[in-house]
Amino acid sequence: MERLTWLSLLKTRRAIAVIRSDDREMAWQMAQAVAKGGIEFIEITWNTEKSGELISQLRWELPEFSIGTGTLLNLEQLQEAIACGAQFLFTPHTDVAMIKAAVDAGVPIVPGAFSPTEIVTAWQAGATCVKVFPISSLGGAAYLKALQGPLGEIPLIPTGGVTLDNAKVFIDAGAIAVGLAGDLFPKDLVANGHWEAIAEIARTLTQNLTTS
């Protein structure tokens, strides 16, 4: 998917499900559950068991969805992720070489940034948008809103502290989308295989974020 098309679609869907697991089958079940609930952007973190294989499988099984990866720490991992078919890339940090490699490959990349300097550096290097991480340590929605004045033209995605309860608050503060992990996958529901309940959580979140 072309980078600007991907970004435009993300702005309408609003939510990214972030899946991290040391059990490949469990990660597959988690992805299927949120997909059933209508979340169209699914991130399989690179440190998930056999993440590359899982990304390739999900791309085949869910062709209408955008399947990407995150927690990419270096250029080698980024290149491997692209080779596996990842449709978008997240990093926890700002690395100009990684950003430029993704741009050259035509794959959307969302680097993590903590400060205005990092945000601008990532954007000027060619980032599709910028992940503000960890948002809970930066003041939450108030910090994101404060960034809108000087940096309003840069699309921002907060992660690391986004919950079901505050996700809409971040959208209202100017985020183009939010990334959620733990709140989408309560440990008891995952442990007991209550996938329909997780799908319903995803469904409710999607409705809340796409309804004005």
Q: Where are the alpha helices (DSSP H) in 37-163?
A: 51-61, 75-83, 96-105, 116-124, 141-151
Nearest CA among 211, 205, 160, 159 for reference residue 39: 205
> In this structure, what is the dihedral angle of CA atoms 131, 134, 70, 27, given to the nearest 10 degrees?
-130
Q: What is the pLDDT along the chain (212 residues), one digit of tens a residue?
A: 677 799 999 999 999 999 999 999 999 999 999 999 999 999 999 999 999 999 999 999 999 999 999 999 999 999 999 999 999 999 999 999 999 999 999 999 999 999 999 999 999 999 999 999 999 988 899 999 999 989 999 999 999 999 999 999 999 999 999 999 999 999 999 999 999 999 999 999 999 998 75
* CATH class in words for 3-207: alpha beta
Measured CA to CA, the distance from residue 75 to residue 46 in angstroms comes to 13
* In the chain, domain spans: 3-207
pTM of the model: 0.96
Measured CA to CA, the distance from residue 11 to residue 168 in angstroms comes to 13
The single residue listed with the structure tokens 């990866």 is 69
Q: Give the pLDDT confidence of 92-130 residue by residue, as tens digits.
A: 999 999 999 999 999 999 999 999 999 999 999 999 999
